[in-house]
Chain A
Amino acid sequence: MSVDNLHDSKIRIDEHSGTPTTGHEWDGIEELNTPLPRWWVWTFYATVIWSLAYCVVYPAWPLLHGATEGVLGWHSRAAVVQDIADLQATRAPILAKIKDAPLDSIEQNPELLAAARTVGRVAFLNNCAACHGAGAQGAKGYPNLNTDAWIWGGKLADIKTTIEHGVRWDADKQTRVSSMPAFGRDGILTPAQVSDVADYVRTMADLPDAIAPETKGEKLFNENCAACHGVNGEGNREVGAPNLFDAVWLYGSDKAVVVNRVNQGGGGVMPAWKGRLDDTTIKALTVYVHSLGGGQ
């Protein structure tokens, strides 16, 4: 007697459920042969048919020199190129206007200004916000862009140049470069002299806890700092030397911080965005930053 027949002989109708058993029996334990729900079975058949159709329609099976192409000729990489092209076509009318308009005229045209601010804001949040903050409020070492305290200039053209070429970004030959000497580290000034200069700078800014000006502090300032920062500490945007008496402090106004800046010199680094962002986006970004409140 075959095993199948052995099973068949054990198939019986279960008296509690009215369902047949499978005929399997292990140490007296039997199994009900409940049929799968009809909807499940048909769904299963449908997925099988779907997968076969998918193999025909889309790229599927690897071969010796490539893979089956699928009758639709669909490729994920072609699809994204098409998607981007469609997107650009949607944006093209307004972007073309931004592209063709002189930089200075965009803010005079409400339609262009709104579009430039929208494009600029998205680009800003993706690329600039990590350093300058989501509201362009800046952070320690990263300038606040809402104020009129510009290091490299707050005119549209200045902002555009800064965005395009960055600051102290070595990979860009036209990057904005200035290098404050490390007066302390390189031994140009003694620690006592650095302290005096720091006191003088803080007095210039009228900080409440500033120590009264000392003549030697002023002398040291005029000899070492005034060439870039100006005799009154008004700064010089040509060389990226910040104003020293306004209320905006990039690294902080505590004496220890000022001493540290005089000791270490140098300055922050901003990447160049030309090439990374397209020219129209940079233009829109320029208008966005200019319109934040500090534009000049």
Chain B
Amino acid sequence: MSFWTRHQVFEKNSIILIVGILAVIAIGGLVEITPLFYLKSTIEVVDGIRPYTPLELTGRNIYVREGCYLCHSQMIRPLRDEVERYGHYSLAAESMYDHPHQWGSKRNGPDLARVGGKYSNDWQRDHMRDPRAVVPSSIMPGYAFLSKTPVNGAHLTEQMRLLRVVGVPYSDEQIDNATVDLAAQAASDDAGGADLQKRYPNAVLGDVAGKSSVTEEDALIAYLQHLGISVDFKLYDDKANIR
């Protein structure tokens, strides 16, 4: 029997054909993906990356829920124009606690990988409620309803435990204090702010003091204000991480 005759086995039996297709694709997957799990050079060793605070994590859930990644990337590519506009190119380490990552692939809006600290909370609030009030040419939809929706922290500790299973190093202390930390970060005059910053260095405190409840808008802004600020690129060695 010639080679072509044997090939008829695949052509004439759909189950065998499917198994064959899966086997061929799996080879591609093994070659392209598996090394990323064992090669030490995949994720840079940098200081400053910490798991998200409960408020940031809640905001991140809203970011995912609202599909922000459909129009905003979080991936500054190592290209001159991108580095010029957005800042240092993104490192793998910067999204190592993201499950799933929010790199995105579409830029109807600007990249958000380093939006943290670029604008004030007030601006984020004005912009979220009515983007065209501050940026007349914006095509972003308004998300005013976020400011009227209290955050739902019901599954916060479960989510943190789940993330721990997949490798995010949340401590028992962090998980036990999730609800306290969420409230503390939202209201900057809360005494719990110091405890929070001990558990999560560089956590930016919010400014919702005086409001009756923490809203989804507050959480989303806390998340945005944390994006891209963890690594101190003055200390980062570009040459050591060339690849």
Contacts and interface: CB of A to CB of B under 8 A. Distances in A.
Interface of A: 2-4, 59, 61-67, 75-81, 83-84, 87, 126-127, 129-131, 134, 139-142, 169-171, 185, 268-271, 276
Nearest to B119: A130
Q: Which of A2, A79, A80, A129 has the most CB of B within 10 A?
A: A80
Given A130-B135, A131-B119, A171-B117, A3 B8 contact: yes
Interface string B16-44: 00000000000000011011001101000
B5 A67 contact: no
Interface stretch (B145-153, B159-167, B169-177, B235-243): B235-243
Interface string B108-144: 0000000001111111001100000111010000000
B35 A67 contact: yes
Interface in B192-243: 204-205, 210, 238-239, 241-243
Given A66-B41, A84-B80, A271 B118 contact: yes
Given A80-B83, A130-B135, A141 B126 contact: yes
A9 to B, nearest CB: 15
B155 interface: no
Interface of B: 1-2, 4-5, 8, 31-32, 34-35, 38-39, 41, 78-80, 83-85, 87, 89, 117-123, 126-127, 133-135, 137, 188, 204-205, 210, 238-239, 241-243
A172 to B, nearest CB: 10
Nearest to B138: A130
Contact of A131 (B134, B204, B238): B134
A281 to B, nearest CB: 11
B81 to A, nearest CB: 9
A64 B40 CA distance: 10
Contact of B238 (A81, A129, A270, A276): A81
Given A4-B5, A185-B210, A276 B121 contact: no
A77 B122 contact: no
B80 A77 contact: no
The A contact surface, by secondary structure, is: mixed
A134 B136 CA distance: 9
Given A63-B35, A78-B242, 13 more contacts: A2-B1, A3-B1, A62-B32, A62-B34, A66-B41, A67-B39, A75-B242, A77-B78, A80-B78, A81-B238, A139-B133, A139-B134, A276-B117
A75 B242 CA distance: 7
A141 B122 CA distance: 9
Contacts of B134: 130-131, 139, 142
A48 to B, nearest CB: 17
What are the nearest 6 A-B pairs in CB distance?
A62-B35, A269-B120, A80-B78, A83-B80, A78-B242, A76-B78
Contacts of A141: 122, 126
8 contacts: A4-B4, A62-B39, A77-B242, A79-B78, A81-B239, A84-B80, A130-B123, A268-B120
A171 B226 CA distance: 13
